[in-house]
Structures are given as C-alpha cells and as structure tokens.
Structure 1
Amino acid sequence: MTATILPSQSRGRAVQTRLAFEATAGVLATSGWKPVRFYTLTAGMDRPLVKDDQLGLAMNNVRDATKRRKGLPGGSLRRTTPINLSEAGYWLSAALTRADATGADGDYVHTFTSGGNPTQTLSLSHLWETGHYSTDLGVAVAELAISAAKTDQAARFNMTLVGLGETEGEAWPAGAVAAAAAADDFSDWRWRVLWNDVAIGTALNVDVNLNLGVERVNGLDGDEWPSFHHFGEIDPTGSFRLYGHGKVFRDFAATNDVGVLTLEATHPEDEDNRFLRITNAGVQVSKPQREISGGGQTSASFNFGASQGADTPAVTIELGNGVAAY
C-alpha cells in the first residue's frame, strides 16, 4: 500500500493582510491597498450544513439522515490589531463617520464620530500560503473594543466585523499597494482620564466598548449572499480602574451626574500632535461595590455608558498623526 503524505500546514507567521476602501459596499476595491498588522484574525464566511428532511420517497433505510443542504453564507469576522497611529484610521473609518482632516505640515487631526454610518466599507485581502488568497468584501466594523494598560503588550483594537461576501483566487487583487505604515503603537504612551476636561487621577486600565449595531440583511433578491448592511443603534459602554480616587466617581454615581469622560493617549515626545483621544459624552457612571484586597491603598473600577445630546454625538475619537488623508 502506498503511504499518503499529508502536506505541511501553513503558518500564521506567513499570513499577510491588506485592506482598501471600497467605492461601493461589497464591490472589490481596485486601488489604494495598504498592508496592515494583526495579532489574530478570522476571515471568510462560513456555510453551515442544514437538515432539510423531505419525506415520501423510498430510501436505503428509515433511520439514517438524508443529504443536507448548504446553508446561507454567514459568520462574523474577528480581528485583533495593535493601535498603530497610522493604521488606526483605517479601522475607525470602517466603524464611524470620518470628517475631513484638519492641520498641515505633517501634523494632522482626524475626527471620527458615532451616530452615522461608517465612512467607507473595506475589502480585506489575505495571503494564506503560496498561491492561496482570499478577500472579504463589504466589511464594516460591528464592535470595537479599545483596551489599554501598562503592560508589556501594546494597546489593541479588538474588533468584530461583518462582511457581505468573499472571493478566492491565485493572486492579490489588482491595484497599487502602498508601503506599510511605520511601527508606532501605544505600548509606552501616556494615558489620562479626564472628567469634564479635569484630570481625575491615575488610571490603571481603560476599556472602551462600542457596539455599533451592524447586521446583515438577506433580501429576497435571488442571490445567496447578503444584500446589504443594516446600521442599528450604537451602544457605547466601557470601564476604567482608578488608583486611590474612587470616592469622586462613587459620588457621581450616587447623584447620577452626567458629564464628559475623555480617555487620552499621547506620545511622550510630541503630545500636541501624536495622540488618540476618545471623548464620551453624556456619560453616566454605575455605582460599584466596595472592594478591599489588602491593607494598602484601595482602587476602584467603574462602568460607564455614553449617550448623545441635542448637538453632541455619544462618542468622538480624534487621531493626531502624520497622515494627510484616509
């Protein structure tokens, strides 16, 4: 008997990814490709097998299952990336509404706001192994979590994305490819937490979660692929842990104060022009339990929710970097 040799498995180290903004959601981008970093990802749409028991015909026996149908394309895409100062704008554009950049001479500010549809959807292309490529189409960000703490790891985006389709091929999609952005993450940046523009103490960690309410719509259009996105209600929540300043926010929770919570990361060498600033408006803080874990200084964790006002979106994210336009 001839032995069967299974091919070696592909390695994550070899996987490359590129993205580009789409002119029309779900239609493969033809220009503007950029290499992007990631820590983990899932790609492609799953196709579950669905039982569809049609009766009335004689089969081999009366107990075995019959052939299953191929289900509709579905599944979410998950991706964890470093918060790279340049690349962050790509993901934020697929999550929020982007305004025109301000600034000049290599110092620009990009502003992203909640409440509207994403500025542009993405085509996400992947090289899995030599000669094997796949591309997710019509990708929008459905959930965006931003986490920061003083650890050995860089701050990260944890994202759930929703695509409208996929293609597979033997080469990268056509179009020019830009150089990769410089490595510029947030591992050693300065984070501050402000309440109504006043610093409130030392934050031990910060977590912001944007549930953007993105769903697929499967219209009766004769196509097995999803028809378009539905952009539903956005629910911004988060938490932060303070060292030794718990009473201030415990009092806010007790009186149901509403304020502006700003989480800001700045580059130690250029805090005026290199920053990520997350402004949460209409913030209410939930009252936490009291927590003692030893005889020393106590810390406190607080959960919050943001909301829109008459003339203010719930969340505004400002990104200061050297990118003139996205």
Structure 2
Amino acid sequence: MARAVGARSQFAAAFETTYGTAPVSGYLKLPFVSTRLSSEQGLIESDLLGLGRDPTDPIRDVINADGDVVVPVDLRNFGHWLKLLLGTPTSTGSAGAYTHTFASGGWTLPSLSAEIGTPEVPSFPMVSGVKANTLAIQMQRSGAASATIGCIAQGETSATSTAAGTPTEAVLDRFNQFQAAIKKDGVALGNVTGASLTYSNNLDRVETIRNDGKIDGADPGMATLTGSLDVRFADTTLLDAAIAGTAMELEFSYTISATKKLVLTAHKVFLPKPRRSISGPGGIQASFAWQAAKGASRMLTAVLSNDVASYA
C-alpha cells in the first residue's frame, strides 16, 4: 500500500467566477513550501443526563476551513498570490517586459479553489472559497525568499481523482534574500540586519445559519500593514524620526534585473521609539516595530515586473 509523501503532493488552483464554486478549468500548478490549508469539523460532547454514566453520541460542530500556505517569492507565480490578496492589478508593457501594479484598499477581493492532491492514496480534496487574509514576508541576509499566506476558505470536498486536469505550470524563477534591498524615502537604508512586513485584510467570516456548516463568505475589514526593522545602532536617523513622529516611505524589494523584480512600498510609515539596551561587548542593535497608514492614495503598492502578460 502506497503512503503519501510531501515530495509528490500537488497544489493546483484556479480563480473562481462564483464564490465557493470550483471552476472546471483554468487551473495553475503553484509551487509551495508547506500548507495547512484544509477544513476541520470538531465534535461537541453530549450534555444529556438521565441515561446513565456513559455519554451518548457526540454531535458534529461547524466546519472551519482555513490555514497558512508558505510559498516561494518568485518572479511569476507570486503574482497570483498578490492578486488573491489585493485584487486584479493594472498591467502595462509589451514584448516580454510587463509591469503589474497591485494596490491595497480594494473593496472586492477574488477567491480561488485549490486542489491539494496526494496521488499515492489517492486523495484530491478541493478547498473552495479561498480568500487571502494575510501576507507575511521576512527579510534576512541569506536564504531563499518565502512568504506566508494566511487563507480563509468556505469548505472542502473530498475526491479520489483530480478535477484540475493538467494545470498550467510557469517557469520557476525564485528570488533570494541576497537580492533584497530596503529604502527609506527612496534612499538605501543602511545597517539593517533584519526586516519583516505583514499585511492583513482582516477578513470577517460571514457565519450564517445553514445546514452544511459552512460560512457564506469572508468580507474584507479595515486593512493593516505592520512590520519590523532590526538595525545596528550607527546613527540616529530612524530614532529621530520616531521621536518626532515623522512619517516615511519604506520600500522593500527583490531584484534580479531591471525587468525582473518585486517592489513592495509602504507609503506612510510611523516608527515607535524603541527601548535601547546594551547586553554585552558586541554591536548594539535597535528594533523598530513600525505601522503604516494610507498615503496619498493607498497604504501599500506592490509592483511585479516580469514576462507574464496579464494576471486578469
């Protein structure tokens, strides 16, 4: 009997026309590092008395479908995750050099269906009504670039054969941490040893009463954008801005070339004044837990430059 292994698992996804209804075609084969996206249904223990010491049967609780998907930050596939998180981008360009601009603050966000298959069993559950709630990216000096996408879904349907057909697969071109850069107000920010960025749609589950235990949807709430900057204490540039309450623009990027890059811009960032501590003879560091707000038109802009013509 074959046993499922992660190396043979498959993640196929397609954007939905109708929320919660899996498309019959148009699936994409998306690379992933790990996933916990699935549904669960708990049990409620019996509260009945008068029938002896042994309890009667438990009853089934509602269905909760959600989980994180850790994906590579790459040149082509990551655009689909940005679309799920922020909505359809504005795309320009030609001849293999395209620029896709994603913006925060949209009222309507798309959903997709994801089939997470393990062919050895075989098992091909389809998770439908998937919306992206959060995006978290960690920047550091070395390693491969990855992002964690927190998802909320409507439900899951079990199957023993694939419904995704033969998914379209893009050439993988993954960004690496050594290709990262951070700018403050358009100027390279020095002495940064680590950084993080977390965006949240703060999705609100619509938990209506229905006989299948599923939710009716997940509506976007007030978005938030937060993160951290860990810096060696070499000057007071960030400290002065924190004390004065001065807003700044922070740009986080991964660059392969002029036509192959990802730029995430937090347009209006505020820094708190951090506590400074000296714990030994080594270098002194400070950590700033920043918060972003809406700038002139939006809070966050993500610009992906690649050879994909459209993410519509």
Q: TM-score range by the shorter chain?
A: over 0.9
Distance 1:188 1:288, change over 3 A: closer
Distance 1:245 1:314, change over 3 A: farther
CA deviations on 1:246-269 (whole Å, 9 max, x unpaired) are 5110110000001211112211xx
Identify the residue that residue 80 of structure 2 maps to in structure 1.
90
Identify the residue that residue 167 of structure 2 maps to in structure 1.
177
Distance 1:257 1:188, change over 3 A: closer
- Please say if 1:11 is aligned against 2:11: no
Identify the residue that residue 314 of structure 1 maps to in structure 2.
299
CA distance in 2, matches of 1:86, 1:75: 27
CA deviations on 1:50-77 (whole Å, 9 max, x unpaired) are 135244xx52x1x332211101101421
Which residue identity does 1:298 align to in structure 2? Answer: I
Distance 1:145 1:174, change over 3 A: closer
Identify the residue that residue 220 of structure 1 maps to in structure 2.
209
Within 5 Å, which residues of 2 pair with 1:64-75? 64-75=54-65
Identify the residue that residue 160 of structure 1 maps to in structure 2.
150
Identify the residue that residue 90 of structure 2 maps to in structure 1.
100
CA distance in 2, matches of 1:117, 1:204: 36
Identify the residue that residue 286 of structure 1 maps to in structure 2.
272
Which residue identity does 2:27 align to in structure 1? Answer: W
Identify the residue that residue 259 of structure 2 maps to in structure 1.
273
Distance 1:300 1:85, change over 3 A: same
Contact 1:32–1:176 (8 Å) recurs in 2: no
Distance 1:92 1:117, change over 3 A: farther
CA distance in 1, matches of 2:153, 2:235: 41
Which residue identity does 2:30 align to in structure 1? Answer: V
Note the C-alpha offset of 1:222: 4.5
Contact 2:27–2:164 (8 Å) recurs in 1: no
Which residue identity does 1:129 align to in structure 2? Answer: P
CA distance in 2, matches of 1:27, 1:121: 10
Identify the residue that residue 285 of structure 2 maps to in structure 1.
299
Which residue identity does 1:256 align to in structure 2? Answer: G
Aligned length: 310
Note the C-alpha offset of 1:103: 1.2
CA distance in 1, matches of 2:202, 2:123: 33
Contact 1:110–1:318 (8 Å) recurs in 2: yes
Within 5 Å, which residues of 2 pair with 1:110-259? 110-117=100-107, 119-130=109-120, 131-151=122-142, 153-175=143-165, 177-178=167-168, 180-187=169-176, 189-259=178-248
Note the C-alpha offset of 1:85: 1.2
Which residue identity does 1:209 align to in structure 2? Answer: T
CA distance in 1, matches of 2:76, 2:173: 8
CA deviations on 1:238-295 (whole Å, 9 max, x unpaired) are 012234545110110000001211112211xx1x211111110221011112243554
Note the C-alpha offset of 1:184: 1.2
Which residue identity does 2:307 align to in structure 1? Answer: G
Identity %: 27
Moved more, 128-137 or 158-167: 128-137
Which residue identity does 1:86 align to in structure 2? Answer: R
Which residue identity does 2:305 align to in structure 1? Answer: G
- Which consecutive unaligned segments of at least 5 residues does structure 1 have? 1-6
- Please say if 1:45 is aligned against 2:30: no
SS in 1 for 2:115: strand
SS in 2 for 1:71: strand
SS in 1 for 2:268: strand
Identify the residue that residue 3 of structure 1 maps to in structure 2.
none
Distance 1:245 1:263, change over 3 A: farther
